Structure 1
Amino acid sequence: MNETHEVFNQPLPLQDVNLFAGNRPMQDALDRLAPAMDRSALVELGALAGSAEMQMHARLAHVFTPQLRTHSRQGHRIDQVEFHPSYHALMGAAVAAGLHGAPFADAEQASGHAHLRRAAGFMLFTELEPATLCPISMTYAATPALRGNPAIYRDWAPALTSRAYDPVMRRWTDKAGVTMGMGMTEKQGGSDVRANTTQAVPDGEDAWGRRFVVTGHKWFFSAPMCDAFLILAQTPAGLSCLFLPRVLPDGSVNALRIQRLKDKLGNKANASAEVEFHAATAWLVGEEGRGVPQILAMGTMTRLDCALGTSGLMRQALALAIDHTRQRRAFGKPLIEQPLMKNVLADLALESEAATVLALRLAHSFDRAGGDAHERVMQRLLTPVAKFWICKRGSPFAQEAMECLGGNGYVEEQGEGVMARIYREMPVNSIWEGAGNIMALDLLRALRQADAAAALAQELAPARGAHPALDRWIDHLPAQMEDLATEWEARRLAERVALAVQAAWLARCAPGVVLGAFCDSRLDSRWGHSFGALGAGVDWDAIIERARPR
């Protein structure tokens, strides 16, 4: 039988590549931020995250999504979530890489770059688009918060920083490793957690301190299969932070009822749920009535991960676009040689590198904020800035990168189309842990610190003289910070601060061709409203070559 056609001009998949070895922007940023940092673990993780095997696991974890089992066959309430083995393979790899808790292990802290190295690894793993990093991120954020209850921290910290993954629901003393989730938002309040109605009634004290009986609900309870959760509830002193384990110290299962799993736009491999507490047992963490500050401290860390995650997704979308257009021919030559396609790819490369340097710069402040006043202020300023701007740019970035693949990018084909998964995943980082308005308003609060303006000026000063447009931007920024310091203008201010810091760090980390094109397009009057509007004279080839994944 004769075939009707042969398949040709279809690019090979981008797999079995080392994501770290091929990421020049990340390498150069690390050279500037931590030149002496050991990168052997990143090289190893880059090879793993770029492997065909891990890509297969990411695909299968999305195709075979989590399933809720509220009752056993005999009718007993069990409230468990079942996952495909590929989900557990992804979780095991992330935990083994220390993405959940390495910065809080003593040996890692001694390196001086624990948060930065973990941030780079988090970005590399995100390129798989595994949708498994929510519990990893929450464990990262919740672990230091547990210091608010020294007894619980003493008992749980070793398992929280362990690199062993154990998905079985049992008492923490019987597990080699554990994960943590969070439950803050309720139906009536969303981001306004002060509107929470869940009640916690005092129930005496024990080895873990003040104990409470909790009754209420959570509207968005991330990763209900975790071993324990930090929740907010109303106690006699006001909204407080409580530690609620799935399995209690006596081995009995806590009274947490999973009502249903959320059917989300993306993030399909991760389980998010609505839950109810039916006189569940929990313990106080921190000062009673001070739950909001406790949560904000954790939010700073999860917001970092939103910026890191979006940067990682941007990098993978760019890599897919470049690799596809390098192999695909149209109108007589490879797509990557078409002038307008070059313009688009180079513009995307600028955006991706700027996101990378800003996210890693923020992560660097987490390693330094404890003993450096400037870094404390920059952590406070850059957290809402990076979360706002990088995450806001993620969705249009993914859409433009998808266009580079055309219909091949839009078709998902049983999870095999990574670009479609990236596009659906992008909005979650912008919405989770405070959407754009929340971040812009948080920047206004940060700027009201007495030393904020001076610290920002100090941050930008080393970049003076690198590009005329950047000099003008820096000169005008103090007046703009005063003019735009209202709720009406808070988003414009967040954008301007983000672009200033991105350009200033590109001046330190990137070659002149990247800095020049970024400043000419973003800081001058020539910036268009779509990607691919770089002006004449830009060395597109050099920018694209720098961004090539292999």
Structure 2
Amino acid sequence: MSSASQTKSGSPSSTGVRFATPSSSTAGFFQAAPNVQSQYDDDIAFQRAIRFFLPDQQREELAPELSTFSKLVLAPKITTWINDAEHNSPYVKHWDSWGKRRDVLITSEGWRNLQALGIQEGIVAIPYDNERGVYSRVHQFAKYHLWAGSAAWVNCPSLMVDGVASLLRLHLSKPALEGRERDVLRSAYDKLTSRDPSIAWTTGQWMTERAGGSDVSQTETLATYDPAAQPDAEITAVDGHPLGPWRLDGFKWFSSATDADMVVMLARTKKGISTFYAPMRKTVRESEQDILGHETELNGISIQRLKNKLGTRALPTAELVLNDTRAYLIGEEGRGTKEIATVLNIARIHNGFTAIGLWGRGLSVVRAFGRARNVGEKPLLDKTAYVTTLAKMHVEYRANVFFNYFVAGLLGVVEQEQIQVFRSVVGGAAVEIGSMGRVPGLRDAQMAEHLLRLLTPALKGVTAKTAIAGLAECMECLGGVGYLENDDQIFNIARLYRDANVLPIWEGTTDMMAHDVLRVVFGKTKVQVLRAMRDWVQASTEGKAFAAQKNTIRKWWNNWESWMESVEKGEAEMRARVVMERLVDVVQGILLIADAESDDDTVAQDVLDCWLMERLFDRGPGGEGAGSTSWKAEYARNLRVVYGEGVSTASRARL
């Protein structure tokens, strides 16, 4: 090769031999597909969270299950099901060939297969089996974390099943619940918590109406106690139980999981907003059945239309007309808002894990792309600005991951007493494993209950927004390919991004979550909740290790508490989001310190340092803290944050 065809470095010039042949659809450069690894093997935040929140024995026992599942969710058959669910959206066949209205909802085979897999894997059943006591929720949500990126949104019915099962368990624990109502609710509970897809049920949870959105006080659906108008004994629910004595009439504006087997919904009685259970379908009289096999029909429900949404396309979300829908009252008449809160609180924790599940999958793709991609003749990971962006995302992601598992751990502690009561009433062995679990700084179940009530809306409010921003960065990291709706679903960050955009809206907007935090702080239990939070902060920041960082977090908490005790409620409401975000800073800071303090892991300390610097210093060129370390040391640290200690294999040029 002549010297004229080479650059000074010895590589071919832009007019050299390398580019003598034009590219075509079959010739030229093709990017090798990034090797996306399972999150169990590659997601450091996931690894650290289960190490921190599960004791060694529990973690070792669960390792084969979590490892196998993390690989299964990336398997070709799963991506085929995702494709089918995404490309074959649900639709409604309103009429049969002879003009009879049927409202048959058609979902894809991929959707149904994903639904069945989630049921088999215990995505809902794990905490109800409760085989690991207080660790059962961490077990469940670890699988959920791995599952969300591949679930094509069958996790929406899962979260409603979880919340409704928790509500039914609460009422079944009351010996006063007797007769037909107990039999009906017990049958529904057993189906909701089953791992057998052939008998397991899913449920809808219908609150939203045109007048109110999340404001359920505007509910226009009316409930009338009318046992005399029940259908004859030949018409029953599909599980053989009689239809309920209440008649519900109204219109539901956003109703997800329209393919469910049952529904829990709000309706207005003479005493106020109340909660009801209704089977989705009822049997048809034998004389009215036809050759097409129509043995059941909707229980006074008609599907007006399905919603056309930005994301969650495989999930059937409908407008529903209720006309003599037969139902059972759950709990006390007029206390429906309190009853449904049990469902909402569970749903909001699922919302947080959906956020980190989608974002974590996007980051898995980005890490794989960083390993595989060259820019010109050099690895992409030699681009220091790119690695800085990756590190910032991974730091925020880890803070969100630990926050989620902390709240899951609180839930695991809080619900144990109720589980034991339930089993004493309906039968079943009591399980006591770890009274306070591995939740740092936790004194007792009452403290856990107060923290859970305060932090659940904050979890949903903050993690939903950060996941959207994080997935937007993930798309950008892949350039144009990141923006594509790929049928190679492993790489389809665009799908994850559009699906994530429902998270700040679903089960209450961000402002609503911030106001819910204020409802706790200014509510009847204000003194107890703030004392619990204060005691937790104090207990979690004791000790000499990381003393400066702990002192910073204590100052943040003291400033937050002092401001909340002196501010007018109106001003607090105006600044509600900031109030919520600063509270989350305190919690995440404590958790990242606890992680770094738990061993000598260099990356955990790097993450803590990076997280604090983003909040303490102006990180612009020349800003405070900008020159605290050399740029080469900072670059090396950023690589460790993204890829762990084995970064020497990721970038050859600088390390």
Same fold (TM over 0.5): yes
Does residue 474 of structure 2 align to residue 389 of structure 1? no
Of residues 244-253 and 501-510 in structure 1, the stretch that sits farther from structure 2 once superposed is 244-253
Does residue 249 of structure 2 align to residue 226 of structure 1? no
**Do the aligned partners of residues 391 and 526 (structure 1) sit closer, same or farther apart at CA in structure 2, a change above 3 Å counting?**
same
| Aligned counterpart in structure 2 of residue 239 of structure 1, from 259, 273, 276 | 273
1:504 matched residue in structure 2:
590
Separation in 1, partners of 2:611, 2:638: 12
For the Cα contact (< 8 Å) 2:114–2:151, is it kept in 1? no
Does residue 90 of structure 2 align to residue 66 of structure 1? yes
2:613 matched residue in structure 1:
520
Separation in 2, partners of 1:327, 1:273: 43
For the Cα contact (< 8 Å) 2:461–2:514, is it kept in 1? yes
Of residues 243-252 and 81-90 in structure 1, the stretch that sits farther from structure 2 once superposed is 243-252
For the Cα contact (< 8 Å) 1:303–1:383, is it kept in 2? yes
1:474 matched residue in structure 2:
554
Does residue 391 of structure 2 align to residue 346 of structure 1? yes
Separation in 2, partners of 1:392, 1:2: 45
Structure 1 residues 189-208: aligned runs within 5 Å: 189-204=212-227
For the Cα contact (< 8 Å) 2:34–2:372, is it kept in 1? no
| Aligned counterpart in structure 2 of residue 490 of structure 1, from 572, 576, 598 | 576
Q: Deviations over 1:73-124 (max 9, x none)?
A: 332222222122111111111111111233123xx34543221111111111
Structure 1 residues 107-506: aligned runs within 5 Å: 108-109=130-131, 111-128=133-150, 130-147=152-169, 148=171, 150-166=182-198, 176-204=199-227, 211-248=245-282, 252-253=296-297, 254-370=299-415, 371=417, 372-414=445-487, 416=489, 418-448=492-522, 449-461=526-538, 462-463=540-541, 465-466=545-546, 468-484=548-564, 486-506=572-592
1:87 matched residue in structure 2:
111
Separation in 2, partners of 1:53, 1:127: 15
For the Cα contact (< 8 Å) 1:202–1:210, is it kept in 2? no
| Aligned counterpart in structure 2 of residue 23 of structure 1, from 43, 61, 66 | 43
Q: Is the partner of 1:10 in helix, strand or coil?
A: coil
**Do the aligned partners of residues 297 and 527 (structure 1) sit closer, same or farther apart at CA in structure 2, a change above 3 Å counting?**
farther
Separation in 1, partners of 2:606, 2:79: 33
Q: 2:31 is aligned with what amino acid?
A: Q
Q: 2:559 is aligned with what amino acid?
A: A
Q: 1:434 is aligned with what amino acid?
A: G
For the Cα contact (< 8 Å) 2:268–2:274, is it kept in 1? yes
**Do the aligned partners of residues 494 and 78 (structure 1) sit closer, same or farther apart at CA in structure 2, a change above 3 Å counting?**
same
For the Cα contact (< 8 Å) 1:200–1:233, is it kept in 2? yes
Q: Kindly, what percent of the aligned residue pairs are identical?
A: 25
1:439 Cα deviation from its structure 2 partner: 0.5
Q: Is the partner of 1:476 in helix, strand or coil?
A: helix
For the Cα contact (< 8 Å) 1:62–1:415, is it kept in 2? no
Separation in 2, partners of 1:10, 1:415: 14
Gaps of 5+ in 2: 1-20, 172-180, 231-240, 285-294, 418-444, 597-603, 651-655
**Pairwise CA RMSD of aligned residues?**
2.5
Separation in 1, partners of 2:487, 2:41: 29
**Do the aligned partners of residues 129 and 305 (structure 1) sit closer, same or farther apart at CA in structure 2, a change above 3 Å counting?**
same
1:171 matched residue in structure 2:
none
Separation in 1, partners of 2:646, 2:196: 34
**Do the aligned partners of residues 26 and 459 (structure 1) sit closer, same or farther apart at CA in structure 2, a change above 3 Å counting?**
farther
1:12 matched residue in structure 2:
33
2:423 matched residue in structure 1:
none
For the Cα contact (< 8 Å) 1:415–1:421, is it kept in 2? no
Separation in 2, partners of 1:60, 1:546: 36
Gaps of 5+ in 1: 167-175
**Do the aligned partners of residues 28 and 2 (structure 1) sit closer, same or farther apart at CA in structure 2, a change above 3 Å counting?**
closer
TM-score using structure 2 length: 0.77
Aligned pairs, number: 533
Q: 2:148 is aligned with what amino acid?
A: T
Highest CA radius of gyration, 1 or 2? Answer: 2
For the Cα contact (< 8 Å) 1:25–1:547, is it kept in 2? no
TM-score using structure 1 length: 0.91
Q: Deviations over 1:136-187 (max 9, x none)?
A: 1110111121243533332222211111224xxxxxxxxx111111110101
